[in-house]
Structure 1
């Protein structure tokens, strides 16, 4: 049981949720405002993707990250920023029978240095590192993170003095994380995010979760979440299993059946669940101390 936890709010993500809810932030100002809203509601960490302001499509444009980070910092809101480094590993095959050439609509495969360029420039306190390749629900799409790419990204993140949050979608990703730590590419304290219920990674059932939790080395810190209707139950699941909490519109757009959520709504609901369990929330300052983060402003 974790009696003192922190909440991460994943404010927008890179999926098509913006087509299903007008509360999903799209522009840099909306995304920055969502980070501030989440912080005021009790989140200590804001996890940030950026989107094309015109179309809402996922983007990795450093200028968009630059604007989001500047707006949050200029607001003087005390929140730990966690920028994604997951973009740029997307492969879409041509088809099941003709995989090559790759489908240009959706394929976005770049090198390790370009994937972390915005991290090296903006120096957030945390950035993500997706620790493996996996199939998602789409027929011909593969999220691609080779061992070589992960080693190169981890080294650049380490050299920048940024804490990697290792995204773990299945047991093999945890194995890769342990390898990176053993090779000296990730510093203590190690931080994981257990990502549950995403097809076709680890299911959101308790047995699958415990297989991951039981294989986390002593001394590592971790959060966990699930998507859709399981997001809010996982608030309780997380602390019961010794972890920290993630909610937000990246993973779920509903507060209740038929009731659209905002990021602030989801953080407030998480706080209500935790309060009822007598679990205390960590402040951003306490998170920085616990994870040995470097505040940049």
Structure 2
């Protein structure tokens, strides 16, 4: 089967906020996150999206925790999963702290690039200033890290286009369409269709819906030819009232891909699709 028929599953393992009280399967420590990353890779995830938690379980941008988690993942000799790290894992962090892991930690292949600011209801402003985005793009180019351009609202597509034009983001661009955050675009099929129709030719893209919108967005993404993100960062339930694990969510996504007549991409195939360098150990 050709690489054009391959679908990348990315597993977003923990996020920055949801506590274990909500779902005991949420990994918090580097050891738990690394183990979940390995299980998800075995289940069909080509990539893992990593947030870190501090000792109180809150999101942190501590580069030492990123480095430790990546080290533990790579300690699995057979695991070549693509490493994707957040740059927005702690609302308390300043711009320099948000970029520190990208600038200093080895092994990060992709990192989130949130292409704009909005009111993340009801908590506060999710701020991504033009100055920050320009500097983040430069840091990623310097380190050979591919931006995962996260789009929460339609206007962010124009912001991404601007930074491509400025040479701060290299084409081909990979977009992550993030739907269902209160304060940004609702997770509807119509909104996904609109965003996908506006993406530049030659780009790659993935999408997810928060909570109960998880499955409708997953199926629509498959129908439109995109890639898939699943995981406890976005959705803690397998079905109504039934708590999920990251591994379960990946397995269900892999099943859906096969039923649709496609195949899950391996990590090496994902690197080819996303124009990443081959893994060096």
Q: How does 1:70-81 map to 2 (within 5 A)?
A: 70-76=71-77, 77-81=79-83
Q: Which residue of 1 aligns with 2:188?
A: 205
- CA shift at 1:72, angstroms? 0.3
Q: What is the SS of the residue equivalent to 1:127?
A: strand
Structure 2 segments unaligned to the other structure (5+ residues): none
Q: 1:210 to 1:125 in 2, by over 3 A?
A: same
- Give the aligned length: 275
Distance 1:114 1:258 in 2: 37
- CA shift at 1:126, angstroms? 0.5
Q: 1:200 to 1:209 in 2, by over 3 A?
A: same
After superposition, give the CA deviation of every residue in 1:205-242 in whole Å (9 maximum; x if it has no partner): 12211221111010010000001122123221112122
Residue 137 of structure 1 pairs with residue 121 of structure 2: yes
Q: How does 1:122-161 map to 2 (within 5 A)?
A: 122-123=105-106, 124-139=108-123, 141-161=124-144
Distance 2:263 2:216 in 1: 17
Quick check: 2:188–2:213 contact (8 Å CA) kept in 1?
no
Residue 23 of structure 1 pairs with residue 28 of structure 2: no
Q: How does 1:42-191 map to 2 (within 5 A)?
A: 42-52=44-54, 54-76=55-77, 77-87=79-89, 90=91, 108-111=92-95, 113-123=96-106, 124-139=108-123, 141-191=124-174
Quick check: 1:125–1:296 contact (8 Å CA) kept in 2?
no
Residue 268 of structure 1 pairs with residue 268 of structure 2: no
Residue 214 of structure 1 pairs with residue 215 of structure 2: no
Q: What is the SS of the residue equivalent to 1:270?
A: helix
Among 243, 261, 272, the residue aligned to 1:289: 272
Distance 1:205 1:80 in 2: 29
Q: Which residue of 2 aligns with 1:231?
A: 214
Q: What is the SS of the residue equivalent to 1:240?
A: helix
Structure 1 segments unaligned to the other structure (5+ residues): 91-107
After superposition, give the CA deviation of every residue in 1:107-154 in whole Å (9 maximum; x if it has no partner): x2413x432211222231111111110111215x11100111101111
Q: CA RMSD in A?
A: 1.4
Q: What is the SS of the residue equivalent to 2:20?
A: helix
After TM superposition, the structure 1 stretch with the greater mean CA deviation from structure 2, 12-21 or 190-199, is: 12-21
Distance 2:215 2:104 in 1: 34
After superposition, give the CA deviation of every residue in 1:234-271 in whole Å (9 maximum; x if it has no partner): 22111212210000000011111222111000000111
Among 26, 31, 34, the residue aligned to 1:32: 34
After superposition, give the CA deviation of every residue in 1:161-182 in whole Å (9 maximum; x if it has no partner): 1101011000111111111111
Distance 1:197 1:185 in 2: 28
- CA shift at 1:12, angstroms? 0.2
After TM superposition, the structure 1 stretch with the greater mean CA deviation from structure 2, 243-252 or 118-127, is: 118-127
Distance 1:272 1:251 in 2: 19
Distance 1:36 1:4 in 2: 20
Distance 2:270 2:254 in 1: 16
Quick check: 1:232–1:247 contact (8 Å CA) kept in 2?
no
